[in-house]
């Protein structure tokens, strides 16, 4: 199975080369698409150097400036769906997502339409250095979103996911409105409304290895409100189910 990893980068110069080596040491048929938003720390140039080092296996999509995760992924998906990738992975470039989990995720994808790397199923966990409050906030955020949306999932905000090509092709991307975390919730909700079979593989979520964390209460509160908008926005799809697939 040919798998393409889409990894958005913004100031990941230290992490990216290490991530690419770690990925290519796995026993999987992997390709990588880096979506860089003209990172001030030169991640874009480093990504270009990696395309020379791994010709045909690393590609870079350069964008002129910081435009956020949603458009980074949507642009990335578009490009990958034009290639012969059979599975598409969403993955952070900061080592929060352990590359080796992909082996398990790929196995689970054989019997599912999409696989989430989940911190909140048996065997999954978050960085032990997370503060009590950050842990509570993350697990409460998940409980909140999955309850309001009726999602039968344990980790709806995880950014580590593996999609079958056919699944992504049937999702109406042009309807997606949210950015940041809620973008991830929204994509999970779309997959659920369209009645795709969603698997969850346990992951250990590490804090970013290099660079600074931007997580804040303000981001979480805004997200809490937007979850209601997601529910309202897709009420037609929720009714239509499978029939609404593209």
Ligand X SMILES: Nc1nc2c(ncn2[C@@H]2O[C@H](COP(=O)(O)OP(=O)(O)OP(=O)(O)O)[C@@H](O)[C@H]2O)c(=O)[nH]1
Contact residues for ligand X, defined by CB under 6 A: 7-10, 12, 35-37, 66-69, 72, 92-94, 96, 208, 213-215
- What minimum distance in Å lies between the beta carbon of 23 and ligand X? 13
Name which of Mg ion, ligand X, none residue 231 binds, using a CB cut-off of 5 to 8 Å depending on partner kind: none
Assess 96 for contact with Mg ion (CB under 5 A).
Answer: yes
| Contact call for residues 62 and 44 (beta carbons, < 8 A) | yes
Assess 12 for contact with Mg ion (CB under 5 A).
Answer: no
Name which of ligand X, Mg ion, none residue 12 binds, using a CB cut-off of 5 to 8 Å depending on partner kind: ligand X
3-state secondary structure of 121: coil
The smaller minimum CB distance to Mg ion, of residues 96 and 138, is found at 96
Total residues contacting Mg ion by CB under 5 A comes to 4
180 contact partners, CB below 8 Å, separation of at least 6: 68, 69, 70, 219, 222, 223
Name which of Mg ion, ligand X, none residue 4 binds, using a CB cut-off of 5 to 8 Å depending on partner kind: none
Mutual angle of helices 132-149 and 180-193, in 10-degree steps: 40
Name which of Mg ion, ligand X, none residue 138 binds, using a CB cut-off of 5 to 8 Å depending on partner kind: none
- What minimum distance in Å lies between the beta carbon of 228 and Mg ion? 25
Give alpha helix (H) positions in 10-59. 15-24, 43-53
* Separation CA 155–CA 64 (nearest Å): 32
Chain length of the chain: 246
φ, ψ of residue 121 in degrees (nearest 5): -115, 165
- What minimum distance in Å lies between the beta carbon of 75 and ligand X? 9
- What minimum distance in Å lies between the beta carbon of 24 and ligand X? 18
Name which of ligand X, Mg ion, none residue 10 binds, using a CB cut-off of 5 to 8 Å depending on partner kind: ligand X
Choice from 57, 79, 208, 231 touching Mg ion (CB under 5 A): 208
- What minimum distance in Å lies between the beta carbon of 72 and ligand X? 4
Name which of Mg ion, ligand X, none residue 8 binds, using a CB cut-off of 5 to 8 Å depending on partner kind: ligand X
3-state SS string for 156-225: CCCCCEEEEHHHHHCCCHHHCCCCHHHHHHHHHHHHHHCCCCEEEEECEECCCCCCCCCCCHHHHHHHHH
| Contact call for residues 60 and 48 (beta carbons, < 8 A) | yes
Where do contacts with Mg ion occur on this chain (CB under 5 A)? 92, 94, 96, 208
């Amino acid at each position: 199975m040919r798998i393409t990893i889409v990894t958005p980068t913004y100031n990941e110069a230290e992490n990216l080369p290490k991530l690419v080596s770690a990925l290519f040491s796995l026993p999987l048929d992997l390709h990588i698409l880096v979506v860089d938003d003209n990172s001030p720390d030169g991640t874009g140039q480093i990504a270009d150097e990696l395309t020379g080092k791994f010709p045909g296996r690393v590609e870079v999509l350069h964008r002129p400036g910081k435009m956020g995760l949603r458009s980074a992924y949507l642009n990335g998906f578009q490009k990958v769906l034009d290639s012969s990738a059979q599975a598409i992975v969403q993955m952070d470039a900061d080592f929060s997502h352990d590359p080796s989990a992909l082996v398990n995720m790929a196995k689970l994808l054989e019997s599912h339409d999409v696989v989430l790397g989940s911190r909140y199923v048996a065997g999954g966990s978050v960085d032990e250095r997370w503060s009590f409050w950050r842990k509570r906030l993350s697990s409460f955020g998940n409980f909140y979103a999955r309850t309001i949306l009726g999602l039968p999932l344990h980790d709806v905000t995880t950014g580590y996911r593996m999609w079958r090509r056919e699944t992504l092709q049937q999702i109406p991307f042009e309807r997606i409105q949210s950015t940041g975390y809620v973008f991830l919730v929204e994509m999970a909700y779309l997959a659920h409304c369209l009645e795709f079979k969603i698997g969850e593989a346990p992951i250990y979520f590490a804090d970013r290895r290099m660079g600074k964390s931007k997580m804040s209460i303000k981001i979480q509160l805004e997200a809490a409100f937007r979850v209601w908008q997601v529910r309202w926005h897709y009420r037609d799809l929720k009714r239509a189910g499978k029939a609404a697939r593209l």
